[in-house]
Every structure is written in C-alpha cells, then in structure tokens.
Structure 1
Amino acid sequence: MDLEPIWLSLKLAALTTFLLLLIGIPIAYWLSRKQSLFRIIVEAFITMPLVLPPSVLGFYLLLAFSPNNALGKWLQEYLSLQLVFSFEGLVFASLIYSLPFMISPLRSAFAQLPRSIAEASYTMGKSRLQTFFYILLPNIKYSIFTAAVLTFAHTLGEFGVVLMIGGNIPGVTKVASIAIYDSVETMDYASANDYAFLLFAITFTIVLAVFVLNRKAIKSPFE
C-alpha cells in the first residue's frame, strides 16, 4: 500500500487547519459583534460552501486560477504562483471549502460569551487586544478545539474540490480520497478498502475526540 496519498492528505488537512485558525478566529469575532447588512452578506458568502456542490466551487476556482484567465495569469507572471494542478492550489481551495466549518463554531462561541466579561476587563485597564487574547480566547478554548478538529476532518475527506483544482498528480495532488477513486476505477478494491479504512479510522477518532471534549465543555459556564 502506497502511504503517500495518506501523508499528503494529512499534510493538507494540517496546513489548512492551521491557516484557518489564524484567519477564522478574527473573522468569527467580527461576525459575532453587532449585526449589520454587510456582516450578513459576508456570512452568507462564507456559508456558501456548505450548500454548494463541491464540483461547482472547484469548477469556478479552476476557471479563476487558470493561466488563461486574467487572475491566474497575473499570479503566475508576478508572483510565480500556479494554483491549478498544484499543492498550493489544493491548500487555497481547502481554505475556502472548509472555512464555514471553522467559522460557525467560533462565531457561536463568541456570541454566547457574556459582554460583562469584556467590560470587566476594560474597567481593569486592559486593552481590547489584551482582553481578546487573555480573556475571551481562553473562555472559548473548547470551541476552538472543536472548530479545529472538524476543519481537519472535513479537509481530510475532500474529493470534488480537490479533483477539480488539483487533478491527480502522484506526490503532488493525489490525496487519499483521489487514491480511493483511482483504485475503484481500476477495480483494485483491496487498495480502495485500505485507503478507505484508514480515512474512516482517522475521522472516527477525530469525531470521537470532539464528542468527549464537548461533554467536558458542558461543565464550563461559557461554552
């Protein structure tokens, strides 16, 4: 069994989760503040990957980043960045596709925090930045973990978006879900079963960890 697709999937999921933690936490906090029409529109765009077929999202990303289009040509000429049929393209597509899985739990957690916590911090002379990092984030640590593991698990099982934007290049874009598809196409059901079982075991462990953590989070007054 070639384990390279498994390691590539784990690498993609880990990198996507790390980047989305950096991106998602401030966005989720901003969305949890006072609602406005602009915030609602932004949240609707972020949520779209949950309802769009992955092939639709992958198709439009493929068109956007193709060297034949203006954006793809500009990225290639000025940044030497090719997002079509490359691992970098998989990462970018995964960021968009998995963004709602990171944002939704964090936004809900921020919204449920009593405003009195931040106000008490301000009265003690703490800045907004200090309050955010030392008061608010520690109080949603369980939600941060939940968002991270759900994002990791979701990215691990991507197929449609990965196939459209990355294709099937061994060692570059051939992740485990693509390896399963290839094995089934060639009627190599033994290899397909090996890949599928590994993904099932990893995903089940991740989901189980979320449920165990959520049981502990019930004891917290702010989760």
Structure 2
Amino acid sequence: MAQVVWTTIALAGVTTLILLVIAAPLGWWLARSRGWWKEAVAALTALPVVLPPTVLGFYVLIALGPNSPLMTLLQPFGVRTLAFTFTGLVIGSVLYSLPFAVQPVRNAFEAMGDRPLEVAATLRARPVDAFLHVAVPMASRGFLTAAVLVFAHTIGEFGVVLMIGGAIPGRTEVVSIRIFQDVEALNFADAHRLSAALVAFAFVVLFSLFLLQRRAAAERA
C-alpha cells in the first residue's frame, strides 16, 4: 500500500513541476498573441478535457510502443519502449493534465493587462526580464491554482494511467487503480479507505481553491 501511495504522489509531483514549466511560456503566448492560430493551439491544448481518457491513453500507448517512429529515434540510445514504465506514466499525465495547467496561467496573464509591461518597457527592461520579474510574479495565483489543479487531477487519474502503465505493482500501480482492483476482488474495506481518503483530499483541494478565488476577488474590489 505504501508503495502505491508513493508512486501516486511521485507521479503527481513530477507532472506538476513539468506542467508549470510548460504552462508559463505557453500560457503567456496564448494570452499575448493576436494571431488567429492561437485559438487552434488553445483548442489542441484543451482537447484532453473532452476526450475520453482511454482514447488519449490508447494513442499515447501507441506512440510510446516499440514500433512507433518516436521509439525508433530513441532506440540508438537504448530506449526501446516507454510503455508500462513510470516515465510513460509521466508523459501521459502531462498530456492529460495540460489544460488544467495552461488555462489558469493564461487567465492570470490576461487579467494582468498591458500596463505593468508598459511600465517595465519604459524602465528599459528586456522582454525576458519583464516576463520573469513582472509578469510571472503578478500571475503567481494563476500558477498556484494550476499547481493545485494538476496535482489533484493527477492523483485521481484512472483511464490514462491504466492504459499506459498497466498497473504493474511497485512500478506503475497508483491509488485509483488499486481501488478498482480492490473492488474487483470484493475487498471493499480497503477500497472504502482509499476512496474516502481521495474524497477528503478532493474536498480540501476545492475548498482551498475557493478560498484563493475569494481572496483574489476581495483584493480586486
């Protein structure tokens, strides 16, 4: 049980860190770009919200399998497949939780407006400096919201991690899959304990997000 919990937390933590790094430039570009193609990128980014997890998991499984063009490129480096590995789980989780990271960050950048950047420009700040030292700190609540959502969303993943990871004990088995296995084995006591823990965790996450939104609204007022 401890190994399952640790694998789940490690997966959520690594996924969150990777997505915060990805969401910063991507959310900034979506918030600032005026090109029509940005909406196509935004739609592609949000696709996991409407796709069944098994569909996304299936295509990621194919992409990470030994016969895919991607793995063919990696075979000279000794990587034959990433399917049914923790690395494969991370890749699938990053893709599945991408919209939960990008959208809050994009919203935070859009809410910031142009004025802070104009002030930074008058002080001769380079665009990179303005982004790192002005935009990112001002969008900190967006990053915090993204981190909480991604971590919680990854904790509750089922379809994607089952398709890509295969529930290998000690390697790719996570809490949501263990609950499913306990129910299949009619081990309702353990399933109840894990399910109740996830319900409590979800409540704390949502309650924290609502408090953050309330505080942000009060500060704006």
For normalisation by structure 2, the TM-score amounts to 0.94
Secondary structure in 2 aligned to 1:219?
helix
Paired letter, 1:16: T
1:74 is matched with which residue? Answer: 73
1:172 is matched with which residue? Answer: 171
Moved more, 157-166 or 5-14: 5-14
Structure 1: give runs of 5+ residues left out of the alignment.
none
Partners in 2 of 1:182 and 1:81 — Cα distance?
A: 29
2:102 is matched with which residue? Answer: 103
Q: Does 1:146 align with 2:145?
A: yes
1:161 is matched with which residue? Answer: 160
Q: Does 1:130 align with 2:129?
A: yes
Write the deviation string for residues 68-116 of structure 1: whole angstroms up to 9, x where unpaired.
Answer: 2332333344352632000000000001000000001111111121201
| Conservation of the 8 A alpha-carbon contact between 1:17 and 1:148 | yes
Gap change, CA 1:81 and 1:92, over 3 Å in 2: farther
| Conservation of the 8 A alpha-carbon contact between 1:25 and 1:106 | yes
Task: Tell me how far 1:191 sits from its aligned partner.
Answer: 1.0
2:186 is matched with which residue? Answer: 187
2:10 is matched with which residue? Answer: 11
Task: Tell me how far 1:38 sits from its aligned partner.
Answer: 2.3
Partners in 1 of 2:186 and 2:217 — Cα distance?
A: 47
Paired letter, 1:182: Q
| Conservation of the 8 A alpha-carbon contact between 2:165 and 2:172 | yes
Secondary structure in 2 aligned to 1:13?
helix
Secondary structure in 1 aligned to 2:173?
coil
2:44 is matched with which residue? Answer: 45
Moved more, 19-28 or 105-114: 105-114
Task: Tell me how far 1:152 sits from its aligned partner.
Answer: 0.7
Gap change, CA 1:28 and 1:47, over 3 Å in 2: same
| Conservation of the 8 A alpha-carbon contact between 2:108 and 2:141 | no
Structure 2: give runs of 5+ residues left out of the alignment.
none
Secondary structure in 2 aligned to 1:218?
helix
Gap change, CA 1:79 and 1:116, over 3 Å in 2: farther
Residue-pair matches, total: 221
Moved more, 128-137 or 159-168: 128-137
Task: Tell me how far 1:219 sits from its aligned partner.
Answer: 2.9
Paired letter, 1:127: R
Q: Does 1:30 align with 2:16?
A: no
Partners in 2 of 1:77 and 1:46 — Cα distance?
A: 31
Task: Tell me how far 1:211 sits from its aligned partner.
Answer: 1.3
| Conservation of the 8 A alpha-carbon contact between 1:82 and 1:88 | no
Partners in 1 of 2:4 and 2:38 — Cα distance?
A: 38
Task: Tell me how far 1:142 sits from its aligned partner.
Answer: 1.2
1:92 is matched with which residue? Answer: 91
Partners in 1 of 2:105 and 2:68 — Cα distance?
A: 35
Moved more, 202-211 or 175-184: 202-211
Paired letter, 2:204: T
